[in-house]
Amino acid sequence: MKAKAQLHGLPSYKPGKPIEEVKRELGLTKVVKLASNENPYGASPKAAKAIQDAASQTAIYPDGYAADIREKVASKIGVDENQLIFGNGSDEVIQFLCRAFLSPDTNTVTADPTFSQYKLNATIEGAEVREVPSIDGVHDLDAMLEEIDDNTRIVWVCNPNNPSGTYVNETAFLNFLERVPSHVLVVSDEAYYEYVTVDDYPETLPLLKKYDNLMILRTFSKAYGLAALRIGYGVANPSLISLIDPVRPPFNNTTFSHAAAAAALEDDAFIQTCVEKNTEALKQFEEFCDKHQLKYYPSQTNFILIDFNTPGDEIFDYLLKKGFIVRSGQALGFPTCVRITAGTEEENKELFAVLEEMLLTKVVGQ
Ligand SMILES: Cc1ncc(COP(=O)(O)O)c(C=O)c1O
């Protein structure tokens, strides 16, 4: 058998460790997962009810056109229904884009470090990946522009960026978009959109009127708390959507993800409360870092990247033994950092106590 050459030696995605596995391995009764930027408050109760109401519909394929959720998202964000494409998580929309646009004679431009799935999917398609070092966690858009040539097909702006949590502001993004050649697709990956609180974050949806080469990605996995159901979407002009839609498998969401996402969309109060709590939690993380003179990257997301000046794996191991699953920065391009999802107020308090003890007793990194 001969698989694509680029698949040989390609590592599989390593997700955050599952809670039950950590409990079993370490004999812990309580484990808190702060590793994958999920919503610690879960989802709107309306979403759970919608799943229960749909429970009898397992034998019938889901609506491949996603008509109901399509109509609800379109009306919520003020676009036409034919401007949307739904994926099994926004991960799958990234896959569609790479499959549709990239091949061995093309290249794609990303920031570095950024969300790993752009590079992975581009590599699978055999495209060259041009990674442009970020400046203090923020995309260097000028340097990214310089990497674009006739063979560039996609440029990725992860905004806010995972794993740094930092963002590209409106002026910088508009300036960039204006200068990207029209043959290059600009992807604005806005997985953490709902958590953003700054005023100068780019509002990209209105830009679709001017730019045919713009695609916006959003997801129900983060603030909406539906990561388990796998539903995210892309927004672009209808011609771009119809170009990539044939790549999409016929029934790529489930009846339950459609129902839950539609119900979750109606609960603005839930999202608002979660965002307020997240903003407060981030403030507490920043205060903790300031108190202990730890560098952190200012975050517009529901996670924070903290530099412990110690190999991230060591901090990860220490916290794991104490019942907290976080992400070591070593695999994320920030070797002395740890990325921590903001938990509930109680979880964060417990985490701060554990971290404080670790820092004061200097048990790690000595
Ligand atoms: C920047 C970014 N984009 C996309 C995704 C994928 O999210 P999902 O496939 O759950 O919609 C994530 C998940 O962590 C992310 O951080």
- Residue 18: the pLDDT is 87
Asked if 229 and 259 sit in the same domain, the reply is yes
CATH number, residue 283? 3.90.1150.10
Secondary structure of 292-326 as H, E, C letters = CCCEEECCCCCEEEEECCCCHHHHHHHHHHCCEEC
- Count of CA atoms in the C-beta half-sphere (13 A) of 283: 8
Q: Which of 92, 116, 117 to mutate to test the pocket of ligand 1 (most atoms within 8 A of CB)?
A: 117
Instruction: Answer with the one of 222, 237, 265 that is the final residue of a domain.
Output: 265
Task: Classify residue 35: in a domain, yes or no.
Answer: no
Asked if 259 and 314 sit in the same domain, the reply is no
Cβ-based neighbour number of residue 311 at 10 Å: 18
Closest-lying ligand 1 atom to the alpha carbon of residue 220: 11
Q: In tens digits, what is the pLDDT along the chain, a chain of 366 residues?
A: 899 999 999 988 877 778 999 999 999 999 999 999 999 999 999 999 999 999 999 999 999 999 999 999 999 999 999 999 999 999 999 999 999 999 999 999 999 999 999 999 999 999 999 999 999 999 999 999 999 999 999 999 999 999 999 999 999 999 999 999 999 999 999 999 999 999 999 999 999 999 999 999 999 999 999 999 999 999 999 999 999 999 999 999 999 999 999 999 999 999 999 999 999 999 999 999 999 999 999 999 999 999 999 999 999 999 999 999 999 999 999 999 999 999 999 999 999 999 999 999 977 765
Instruction: Answer with the one of 265, 291, 313 that is the final residue of a domain.
Output: 265
Asked if 320 and 342 sit in the same domain, the reply is yes
Closest-lying ligand 1 atom to the alpha carbon of residue 88: 9
Task: Classify residue 138: in a domain, yes or no.
Answer: yes
Asked if 186 and 286 sit in the same domain, the reply is no
Q: How close is the Cα of 107 to the center of ligand 1, in Å?
A: 22
Task: Classify residue 40: in a domain, yes or no.
Answer: no
Asked if 246 and 285 sit in the same domain, the reply is no
Asked if 112 and 250 sit in the same domain, the reply is yes
CA angle (11 as vertex; 8, 14 as ends), nearest 5: 165
Domain count, the chain: 2
Name the residue with the closest Cα to ligand 1, atom 12: 191
165 C-beta closer than 6 A to ligand 1 = no
Q: How close is the Cα of 272 to the center of ligand 1, in Å?
A: 20
CATH number, residue 162? 3.40.640.10
359 C-beta closer than 6 A to ligand 1 = no
278 C-beta closer than 6 A to ligand 1 = no
- Residue 365: the pLDDT is 66
Residue 324: give the domain boundaries. Answer: 5-30+269-361
158 C-beta closer than 6 A to ligand 1 = yes
Instruction: Answer with the one of 265, 282, 298 that is the final residue of a domain.
Output: 265
Residue with tokens 């709902």: 194
Asked if 153 and 250 sit in the same domain, the reply is yes
- Residue 14: the pLDDT is 77
Asked if 294 and 225 sit in the same domain, the reply is no
Q: How close is the Cα of 190 to the center of ligand 1, in Å?
A: 9
- Residue 270: the pLDDT is 98
Closest-lying ligand 1 atom to the alpha carbon of residue 94: 4
Task: Classify residue 18: in a domain, yes or no.
Answer: yes
88 C-beta closer than 6 A to ligand 1 = no
Spatial separation of the C-alpha atoms in residues 288 and 294, rounded to whole Å: 8
Task: Classify residue 100: in a domain, yes or no.
Answer: yes
Task: Classify residue 221: in a domain, yes or no.
Answer: yes
Closest-lying ligand 1 atom to the alpha carbon of residue 36: 14
Estimate to the nearest angstrom the gap between the alpha carbon of 137 and the chain centroid: 15
Asked if 216 and 344 sit in the same domain, the reply is no
CA angle (83 as vertex; 82, 84 as ends), nearest 5: 90
Q: How close is the Cα of 137 to the center of ligand 1, in Å?
A: 18
Asked if 108 and 11 sit in the same domain, the reply is no
- Residue 293: the pLDDT is 96
Asked if 327 and 195 sit in the same domain, the reply is no
Q: How close is the Cα of 362 to the center of ligand 1, in Å?
A: 34
SS3 36: coil
**Dihedral sign for Cα atoms in the order 362, 363, 364, 366:** positive
Asked if 106 and 219 sit in the same domain, the reply is yes
Q: How close is the Cα of 157 to the center of ligand 1, in Å?
A: 13
- Residue 201: the pLDDT is 98
318 C-beta closer than 6 A to ligand 1 = no
Q: How close is the Cα of 90 to the center of ligand 1, in Å?
A: 6
Task: Classify residue 38: in a domain, yes or no.
Answer: no
- Distances 129 to 6, 203, 310 between C-alpha atoms, Å: 12, 27, 30
Spatial separation of the C-alpha atoms in residues 169 and 83, rounded to whole Å: 24
Task: Classify residue 36: in a domain, yes or no.
Answer: no
- Residue 13: the pLDDT is 82
Spatial separation of the C-alpha atoms in residues 89 and 253, rounded to whole Å: 8
219 C-beta closer than 6 A to ligand 1 = yes
Closest-lying ligand 1 atom to the alpha carbon of residue 231: 11
